Structure 1
């Protein structure tokens, strides 16, 4: 939790209203997302119990596993889930757009987006993908072809969820919590109903009262993937037992299944409504300018994976990353995190304020400017304007450091002097770039006297990737070259988790 978020939480309590901690939305919200709410059986490792999913608020699909410990029923659930999710995923692989550049290429003009209630939903998809992607479609313990394909796609989405700034798989509580601070703890914010009670309370109802009502599991059951213990004991266990005792009686089994479906629907339907409400709340925020670029990266990832699956004999993701693959992945995530942090700050003054508190940025008024200054010390005369910015912000910057302004990102500024004056600091800067090639700066390219401006060390400039050996050259100290991730006898009978 940052300093400003802590302050915003205190203000939320004082003012009895959630506080926005961003000025823009930093994530993409699709016009047609797939809402996916999984439930698992308590006490079992990733045993699917039910799921509600769909891409339209009025058309939820309910899938139920009447006996979650039954292997055949689990894979029947996986096959049906696969047909629904893959139908949605494939619907975006139709329309392409050309990406301009030195090497022209094509990518899909849109991509699927899956919304789950909380990080537990991401964990379910990760484990469920691992449990299904290596299953065999032939021989003993064979499964329908859609099952391992579903596993590959779930693994793809789960891996993209770890990628900073990606929006292909979003936990709703995380997306909302990144934009609002409430007057309750982070643990309470993990409850989707309580979180939305603060952000979007009913008209005329205090968020305190709304959040208290949201903690009632009778009206707002847990958003999964685990169910409420009281529901398990009083309604779920008897319904499952009743279904199990109807073997050989089709009519009784049909009635027992209907009862079980009604019970599970009652647990999932409130969360289904909350998910679409949360998506609408997020859509009301103006997206940041860099959101479109990050969504383009997501579309690239989706396009590349579709092409990979359509290639010759594509292998499923390995059970575990090899040494080289793990190092490459960690490098990508670190670079993506740095770029995402920078982009959010450049998009959003409230995020930049955290860098100002840390002394890595400052905001102030231009008190002096020399827009026509020429540097003729070299072989060629260059336009090098100088400005002085007066600020109250605490600074941990040094003379000679380079900074830039979110308002003029193509322009570099070098700190020439730091002069304390009566509680202020005058920062003298020399500017270069972003002014054209002539010796006269275009209007507006140089900050004018009286202008309020921000400068920081934050930059989302391209960072080259690290140097790693080829997978085939993995040294023996790290296990040597890994074997291809082919399905084996062990995978066919592996425990579900």
Structure 2
């Protein structure tokens, strides 16, 4: 947890409500998201109890399993979930747009948009992954040899849920998102990260009801019970309240089982309706809370790089659509070594890209980077034009800045600056870092600037952080020059001897340099699956033809 986050949580406790942790929205919120609130049976992770799903907050689809231990009823639940989800997916599959050809790619079509699934919390997201894994291999009624066939759309639903759950592991993806993670990314509360997983408590801090502060509203959501002894705000799925399970749900299930065993159609329908009513009473508050969170997030302006990350999600959605239409088999239970390495490398690259883009989009996030010494913002004092040596001299201007920040940079450290309208960042290198004239030098061990009063006062103080709502101001106040940094620009100025107009700041301009790259490069190429080294399982053919190792011979010591 960063120092800025700790400070924000302390401010939330003092203010009695959550404080903004971002000035813009760093994730996409679709115009019509598909909200899914699942509920599972206590002690049976693979036995769904019910779900509320749909794109219309006023008319959700309610799915209930009146006896979760019955296989046929569970399959009927999966079929109902497929009937609610797959039409939404299909509505986006055929609306495409053409991407122009590039140097490395021919002209290609990509889906113009993709459906977004929103679940209450990270536990519900893991449950979506479980549903996908447990249904994508099921055999359907089209297979005459299937011992327990399922309706035809169920395996297709499992493959889509698996893809969405895998994509959710990519940092910055918005295909499948948990509402608690979205809200905690944009607001800081006065409770622990574990308590933030309760959606009702989290919303109590962010938007408390009239007459209550954040702490009181969160406590009411977590522990408040009505006259019947049930929670006013049930857990935000997929878990259920133990009191609800023991006092209400278990007797209702017993009545359903008794009526079903007796073959009494009328009493069985009454008992089933009773179970549906009880499950709906646990799902509806969470359903309303998810949509409340959607409204809060939509009120924030969208970050500049969100659309770029959503385009990557659209490419992912299009690729899975094409694999399904090509008749490829379901996703394997376990990835091979090359695929696993590719996924890990892709997620590491996405994390670094997200780390940089959020700071570039949000002054409040950049303030945390400045406080950590990973960036600095200052005013240009002077610009000295110099050129590189060689047959073709290139401009290498020296900028002298004063900044209240203390960048953790040695001479020759690479720095980066975002240029408006440019595809890539302008590169630079730090030449020197010294105390500004009139400020006494404070050095730590080894001659490095010490983390003393100047360093603490030089970070982005409360006056340096822009307001946490609305667009960032053109310039932020400065408490006073503390450090003088000399930076040499090394790129982003064109190919001529004279720098391109606007690529070199002028004295008086306020600029920001980061010590982290804005664009991430891919790692080294991985071998083909046929060339996998023996340390990672060997080639697939070798694994298939390998003779299994004989077990050890049993001895007398193996038996009691």
Instruction: Give the TM bin, normalised by the shorter chain.
Output: over 0.9
Cα deviation digits, residues 356-398 of structure 1 (max 9, x gap) = 232221122212223xx25263323433322111123223211
Q: In the superposition, relative to structure 1, how do residues 467 and 438 fare at CA in structure 2: closer, same or farther (>3 Å)?
A: closer
Q: In the superposition, relative to structure 1, how do residues 125 and 481 fare at CA in structure 2: closer, same or farther (>3 Å)?
A: farther
Are 1:390 and 2:402 counterparts?
yes
Match of 1:378 in 2: 390
Match of 2:378 in 1: 364
- How far apart are residue 238 of structure 1 and its match? 0.8
Give 1:391-470 correspondences, 5 Å limit. 391-407=403-419, 410-421=425-436, 422=439, 424-441=482-499, 444-470=502-528
Give 1:126-145 correspondences, 5 Å limit. 126-137=129-140, 138=143, 139=145, 140-145=147-152
Name structure 1 gaps, 5 residues minimum: 484-497
Cα deviation digits, residues 103-138 of structure 1 (max 9, x gap) = 321111100100000011111111111111111222
Q: Say which is worse superposed, 190-199 or 349-358, in terms of deviation.
A: 349-358
Are 1:113 and 2:125 counterparts?
no
- How far apart are residue 144 of structure 1 and its match? 1.8
Cα deviation digits, residues 299-347 of structure 1 (max 9, x gap) = 0000110011000x31101111222222221111111111111111121
Match of 1:474 in 2: 532
Match of 1:104 in 2: 107
Give the TM-score normalised by structure 1.
Answer: 0.92
Mapped partners of 1:186, 1:84: distance in 2: 33
Backbone CA RMSD of aligned residues: 1.8
Mapped partners of 1:401, 1:10: distance in 2: 35
Mapped partners of 2:108, 2:337: distance in 1: 31
Match of 2:187 in 1: 180
Match of 1:246 in 2: 259
Aligned length: 480
Q: In the superposition, relative to structure 1, how do residues 465 and 144 fare at CA in structure 2: closer, same or farther (>3 Å)?
A: farther
Aligned to 1:186, the other structure's residue is in SS state coil
Give 1:23-172 correspondences, 5 Å limit. 23-102=23-102, 103-137=106-140, 138=143, 139=145, 140-172=147-179
Give 1:202-221 correspondences, 5 Å limit. 202-215=209-222, 216=224, 218-221=231-234
Cα deviation digits, residues 238-287 of structure 1 (max 9, x gap) = 11111111121111111111111111110000111111110111111111
Q: Say which is worse superposed, 460-469 or 294-303, in terms of deviation.
A: 460-469
- How far apart are residue 450 of structure 1 and its match? 2.4
Match of 1:201 in 2: 208
Match of 2:445 in 1: none
Are 1:271 and 2:286 counterparts?
yes
- How far apart are residue 84 of structure 1 and its match? 1.2
Q: From the CA coordinates, give the structure whose radius of gyration is larger.
A: 2
Mapped partners of 1:304, 1:145: distance in 2: 22
Mapped partners of 2:47, 2:538: distance in 1: 35
Mapped partners of 2:254, 2:526: distance in 1: 55
Aligned to 1:46, the other structure's residue is in SS state strand
- How far apart are residue 440 of structure 1 and its match? 4.6
Mapped partners of 1:334, 1:153: distance in 2: 24
Are 1:255 and 2:262 counterparts?
no
Give the TM-score normalised by structure 2.
Answer: 0.82
Name structure 2 gaps, 5 residues minimum: 226-230, 440-453, 455-481, 542-560
Mapped partners of 1:410, 1:193: distance in 2: 42
Q: Say which is worse superposed, 18-27 or 422-431, in terms of deviation.
A: 422-431
Q: Say which is worse superposed, 436-445 or 210-219, in terms of deviation.
A: 436-445
Mapped partners of 1:378, 1:474: distance in 2: 45
Q: In the superposition, relative to structure 1, how do residues 435 and 469 fare at CA in structure 2: closer, same or farther (>3 Å)?
A: closer
Mapped partners of 2:408, 2:364: distance in 1: 19
8 A contact 1:39–1:227 mirrored in 2: yes
Match of 2:246 in 1: 233
Aligned to 1:375, the other structure's residue is in SS state coil
Mapped partners of 2:389, 2:235: distance in 1: 70
Cα deviation digits, residues 419-467 of structure 1 (max 9, x gap) = 2231522111122433345555455432222222221122232412333
Q: In the superposition, relative to structure 1, how do residues 387 and 38 fare at CA in structure 2: closer, same or farther (>3 Å)?
A: same
Mapped partners of 1:375, 1:91: distance in 2: 57
Cα deviation digits, residues 12-33 of structure 1 (max 9, x gap) = 1112221111121110100010
Aligned to 2:155, the other structure's residue is in SS state helix
Match of 1:331 in 2: 345
Mapped partners of 1:284, 1:482: distance in 2: 51
Mapped partners of 1:124, 1:153: distance in 2: 14
